[in-house]
Chain A
Amino acid sequence: SAVISQKPSRDICQRGTSLTIQCQVDSQVTMMFWYRQQPGQSLTLIATANQGSEATYESGFVIDKFPISRPNLTFSTLTVSNMSPEDSSIYLCSVEGGLAGSTDTQYFGPGTRLTVL
Protein backbone atom coordinates (compact mmCIF):
# COMPACT_ATOMS: atom_id res chain seq x y z
CA SER A 1 0.00 0.00 0.00
CA ALA A 2 1.01 3.65 -0.40
CA VAL A 3 2.79 5.66 2.27
CA ILE A 4 0.64 8.64 3.23
CA SER A 5 1.83 11.60 5.28
CA GLN A 6 -0.06 14.56 6.68
CA LYS A 7 1.16 17.93 7.91
CA PRO A 8 0.76 19.19 10.53
CA SER A 9 0.20 16.19 12.79
CA ARG A 10 -1.53 18.44 15.31
CA ASP A 11 -2.22 22.09 15.89
CA ILE A 12 -3.92 24.43 18.32
CA CYS A 13 -5.57 27.40 16.64
CA GLN A 14 -7.51 30.48 17.63
CA ARG A 15 -11.13 31.03 16.75
CA GLY A 16 -11.61 32.86 13.44
CA THR A 17 -8.34 31.75 11.88
CA SER A 18 -7.76 29.20 9.10
CA LEU A 19 -5.53 26.14 8.88
CA THR A 20 -4.35 24.29 5.78
CA ILE A 21 -3.64 20.57 6.11
CA GLN A 22 -1.45 18.82 3.58
CA CYS A 23 -1.67 15.20 2.42
CA GLN A 24 1.24 13.71 0.47
CA VAL A 25 1.36 10.22 -1.05
CA ASP A 26 4.51 8.45 -2.21
CA SER A 27 2.88 7.16 -5.40
CA GLN A 28 0.23 8.28 -7.84
CA VAL A 29 -3.31 7.49 -6.75
CA THR A 30 -6.64 7.70 -8.48
CA MET A 31 -8.80 8.95 -5.64
CA MET A 32 -8.13 11.14 -2.61
CA PHE A 33 -10.65 11.83 0.15
CA TRP A 34 -10.92 13.99 3.26
CA TYR A 35 -12.69 12.82 6.42
CA ARG A 36 -13.51 14.40 9.76
CA GLN A 37 -13.56 12.49 13.03
CA GLN A 38 -15.10 14.51 15.84
CA PRO A 39 -14.10 13.60 19.40
CA GLY A 40 -15.26 10.10 20.28
CA GLN A 41 -17.14 9.77 17.00
CA SER A 42 -16.90 7.85 13.77
CA LEU A 43 -15.58 9.17 10.48
CA THR A 44 -17.60 11.40 8.19
CA LEU A 45 -16.61 12.06 4.60
CA ILE A 46 -16.13 15.76 3.88
CA ALA A 47 -15.32 15.59 0.18
CA THR A 48 -13.62 13.80 -2.67
CA ALA A 49 -10.59 15.71 -3.95
CA ASN A 50 -10.62 15.67 -7.75
CA GLN A 51 -7.38 16.22 -9.63
CA GLY A 52 -7.57 19.35 -11.74
CA SER A 53 -11.16 20.22 -10.88
CA GLU A 54 -13.36 21.27 -7.98
CA ALA A 55 -13.84 18.85 -5.11
CA THR A 56 -17.11 16.97 -4.66
CA TYR A 57 -18.60 17.81 -1.26
CA GLU A 58 -20.90 15.70 0.88
CA SER A 59 -24.13 17.00 2.28
CA GLY A 60 -23.48 19.43 5.10
CA PHE A 61 -20.02 20.50 3.91
CA VAL A 62 -19.38 23.52 1.69
CA ILE A 63 -16.45 24.82 -0.28
CA ASP A 64 -16.31 28.16 1.52
CA LYS A 65 -15.71 26.42 4.83
CA PHE A 66 -13.51 23.55 3.58
CA PRO A 67 -11.72 24.55 0.38
CA ILE A 68 -9.76 21.67 -1.12
CA SER A 69 -7.03 21.56 -3.72
CA ARG A 70 -5.57 18.64 -5.64
CA PRO A 71 -2.97 19.90 -8.09
CA ASN A 72 -1.60 16.46 -9.01
CA LEU A 73 -1.99 12.73 -8.39
CA THR A 74 0.09 12.66 -5.18
CA PHE A 75 -0.90 15.76 -3.21
CA SER A 76 -3.97 17.45 -1.75
CA THR A 77 -4.76 20.15 0.78
CA LEU A 78 -7.77 20.79 2.99
CA THR A 79 -8.30 24.21 4.55
CA VAL A 80 -10.51 24.66 7.58
CA SER A 81 -11.67 28.27 7.34
CA ASN A 82 -12.90 30.73 9.94
CA MET A 83 -12.54 28.12 12.65
CA SER A 84 -14.72 27.71 15.72
CA PRO A 85 -14.36 25.28 18.64
CA GLU A 86 -16.84 22.99 16.88
CA ASP A 87 -14.20 22.36 14.23
CA SER A 88 -11.97 20.63 16.79
CA SER A 89 -11.56 17.17 15.26
CA ILE A 90 -9.12 14.79 13.67
CA TYR A 91 -8.92 15.34 9.91
CA LEU A 92 -7.81 12.37 7.84
CA CYS A 93 -6.99 11.97 4.20
CA SER A 94 -7.36 8.68 2.43
CA VAL A 95 -6.35 7.37 -0.98
CA GLU A 96 -7.51 4.66 -3.34
CA GLY A 97 -6.46 3.15 -6.63
CA GLY A 98 -3.56 3.84 -8.98
CA LEU A 99 -0.24 2.68 -7.60
CA ALA A 100 -1.74 2.62 -4.08
CA GLY A 101 -3.05 -0.85 -4.74
CA SER A 102 -6.54 -2.32 -4.83
CA THR A 103 -9.12 -0.17 -6.54
CA ASP A 104 -11.78 -0.88 -3.89
CA THR A 105 -9.72 -0.22 -0.75
CA GLN A 106 -9.00 3.10 0.92
CA TYR A 107 -5.80 3.65 2.89
CA PHE A 108 -5.64 6.38 5.48
CA GLY A 109 -3.07 8.90 6.54
CA PRO A 110 -2.10 9.36 10.20
CA GLY A 111 -4.50 12.27 10.67
CA THR A 112 -4.22 15.87 11.83
CA ARG A 113 -5.51 16.57 15.32
CA LEU A 114 -6.95 20.09 15.43
CA THR A 115 -7.96 21.96 18.56
CA VAL A 116 -9.68 25.33 18.23
CA LEU A 117 -9.76 27.61 21.27
Chain B
Amino acid sequence: GDSVTQMEGPVTLSEEAFLTINCTYTATGYPSLFWYVQYPGEGLQLLLKATKADDKGSNKGFEATYRKETTSFHLEKGSVQVSDSAVYFCALKTLQGAQKLVFGQGTRLTINP
Protein backbone atom coordinates (compact mmCIF):
# COMPACT_ATOMS: atom_id res chain seq x y z
CA GLY B 1 0.00 0.00 0.00
CA ASP B 2 0.88 3.66 -0.11
CA SER B 3 3.37 4.86 2.47
CA VAL B 4 5.44 7.86 3.53
CA THR B 5 8.88 7.75 5.12
CA GLN B 6 10.31 10.76 6.90
CA MET B 7 13.72 11.62 8.22
CA GLU B 8 14.12 10.40 11.76
CA GLY B 9 14.12 12.99 14.46
CA PRO B 10 14.47 14.80 16.64
CA VAL B 11 16.31 17.52 14.76
CA THR B 12 17.96 20.34 16.68
CA LEU B 13 19.34 23.41 14.94
CA SER B 14 20.52 26.87 15.84
CA GLU B 15 18.56 29.92 14.78
CA GLU B 16 19.27 31.02 11.17
CA ALA B 17 20.52 27.56 10.18
CA PHE B 18 19.43 25.85 6.97
CA LEU B 19 16.78 23.18 7.37
CA THR B 20 16.09 20.07 5.36
CA ILE B 21 13.62 17.39 6.42
CA ASN B 22 13.62 14.45 4.05
CA CYS B 23 10.40 12.78 2.88
CA THR B 24 10.03 9.95 0.39
CA TYR B 25 6.91 8.13 -0.62
CA THR B 26 5.66 4.93 -2.21
CA ALA B 27 2.39 5.18 -4.11
CA THR B 28 0.53 4.12 -7.19
CA GLY B 29 0.44 6.95 -9.70
CA TYR B 30 1.10 10.54 -8.75
CA PRO B 31 -0.59 11.45 -5.48
CA SER B 32 -0.92 14.95 -4.05
CA LEU B 33 1.75 15.65 -1.43
CA PHE B 34 1.50 17.75 1.73
CA TRP B 35 3.48 19.08 4.65
CA TYR B 36 1.59 19.72 7.87
CA VAL B 37 2.98 21.32 11.03
CA GLN B 38 1.90 20.72 14.61
CA TYR B 39 2.94 23.35 17.14
CA PRO B 40 3.07 22.30 20.80
CA GLY B 41 -0.40 21.59 22.19
CA GLU B 42 -2.17 22.34 18.91
CA GLY B 43 -3.78 20.53 15.98
CA LEU B 44 -2.32 20.17 12.51
CA GLN B 45 -1.93 23.12 10.18
CA LEU B 46 -1.40 22.80 6.47
CA LEU B 47 2.03 24.23 5.66
CA LEU B 48 2.25 23.63 1.91
CA LYS B 49 1.25 21.21 -0.81
CA ALA B 50 2.01 20.13 -4.38
CA THR B 51 -0.37 18.30 -6.65
CA LYS B 52 1.79 17.27 -9.62
CA ALA B 53 5.36 16.52 -10.56
CA ASP B 54 7.82 19.44 -10.45
CA ASP B 55 5.33 21.61 -8.56
CA LYS B 56 6.89 23.64 -5.76
CA GLY B 57 4.83 24.36 -2.68
CA SER B 58 5.87 27.29 -0.50
CA ASN B 59 4.68 29.08 2.61
CA LYS B 60 6.26 31.06 5.48
CA GLY B 61 9.72 30.63 3.96
CA PHE B 62 9.36 26.85 3.68
CA GLU B 63 9.56 25.12 0.29
CA ALA B 64 9.17 21.60 -1.05
CA THR B 65 9.37 20.34 -4.63
CA TYR B 66 7.47 17.30 -5.91
CA ARG B 67 10.16 15.05 -7.46
CA LYS B 68 8.63 12.07 -9.20
CA GLU B 69 11.97 10.64 -10.35
CA THR B 70 13.14 10.27 -6.74
CA THR B 71 9.61 9.98 -5.22
CA SER B 72 10.55 12.71 -2.76
CA PHE B 73 9.09 15.88 -1.26
CA HIS B 74 11.82 17.26 0.99
CA LEU B 75 11.01 20.28 3.17
CA GLU B 76 13.54 23.14 3.21
CA LYS B 77 13.93 26.52 4.81
CA GLY B 78 16.88 28.82 4.35
CA SER B 79 16.96 30.39 7.82
CA VAL B 80 14.96 28.88 10.68
CA GLN B 81 13.59 30.75 13.67
CA VAL B 82 12.84 29.66 17.22
CA SER B 83 9.15 29.92 16.35
CA ASP B 84 9.59 27.12 13.77
CA SER B 85 10.02 24.61 16.60
CA ALA B 86 7.25 22.04 16.02
CA VAL B 87 6.54 18.57 14.67
CA TYR B 88 6.43 18.35 10.87
CA PHE B 89 4.42 15.67 9.04
CA CYS B 90 4.76 14.70 5.41
CA ALA B 91 1.64 13.16 3.88
CA LEU B 92 0.22 11.92 0.61
CA LYS B 93 -3.33 11.60 -0.59
CA THR B 94 -4.05 8.17 -2.00
CA LEU B 95 -5.48 7.85 -5.49
CA GLN B 96 -6.90 4.34 -5.12
CA GLY B 97 -10.25 3.71 -3.46
CA ALA B 98 -11.07 6.10 -0.61
CA GLN B 99 -8.84 9.12 -1.13
CA LYS B 100 -7.39 9.34 2.34
CA LEU B 101 -4.27 10.94 3.79
CA VAL B 102 -1.33 8.72 4.66
CA PHE B 103 1.13 10.34 7.07
CA GLY B 104 4.79 9.88 7.75
CA GLN B 105 5.92 9.35 11.33
CA GLY B 106 6.63 13.04 11.95
CA THR B 107 9.88 14.89 12.63
CA ARG B 108 10.28 16.94 15.79
CA LEU B 109 12.26 20.12 15.15
CA THR B 110 13.77 22.24 17.90
CA ILE B 111 15.42 25.56 17.12
CA ASN B 112 17.75 27.00 19.75
CA PRO B 113 18.40 30.75 19.99
A residues bordering B, Cβ < 8 Å? 1, 33, 41-45, 48, 56, 58, 92, 94, 104-111
A33 touches B100 (CB 8 A): yes
Contact status of A43 and B93, CB under 8 A, knowing A33-B100, A104-B51: no
Contact status of A105 and B43, CB under 8 A, knowing A33-B100, A48-B100: no
Chain B interface: which size bin? 20 to 34
Tell which of B32, B44, B45, B104 touches A104, judged by Cβ atoms closer than 8 Å: B32
A1 contact set on B, CB distance < 8 A: 46
Tell which of A56, A107, A111 touches B98, judged by Cβ atoms closer than 8 Å: A56
A-B contact pairs, 23 of them (CB 8 A): A1-B46, A33-B100, A41-B106, A42-B89, A42-B104, A43-B44, A43-B89, A43-B101, A44-B103, A45-B100, A48-B98, A48-B100, A94-B44, A104-B32, A104-B51, A104-B93, A104-B99, A106-B46, A108-B36, A108-B45, A110-B42, A110-B43, A111-B42
B43 touches A42 (CB 8 A): no
Residues 46-72 of chain B: 1 if any A CB is under 8 Å from the residue's CB, otherwise 0? 100101000000000000000000000
Task: Return the 8 tightest CB-CB contacts between A and B, nearest first.
Answer: A108-B44, A110-B43, A111-B43, A42-B103, A108-B43, A43-B103, A42-B105, A104-B32
B residues bordering A, Cβ < 8 Å? 32, 34, 36, 42-46, 49, 51, 89, 93, 98-101, 103-106
CA–CA, A94 and B106, complex, Å? 18
CA–CA, A45 and B44, complex, Å? 14
Tell me the smallest distance from the CB of A101 to a CB of chain B, in Å.
Answer: 10
A109 touches B103 (CB 8 A): no
A109 touches B89 (CB 8 A): no
A111 contact set on B, CB distance < 8 A: 42-43
CA–CA, A107 and B46, complex, Å? 7
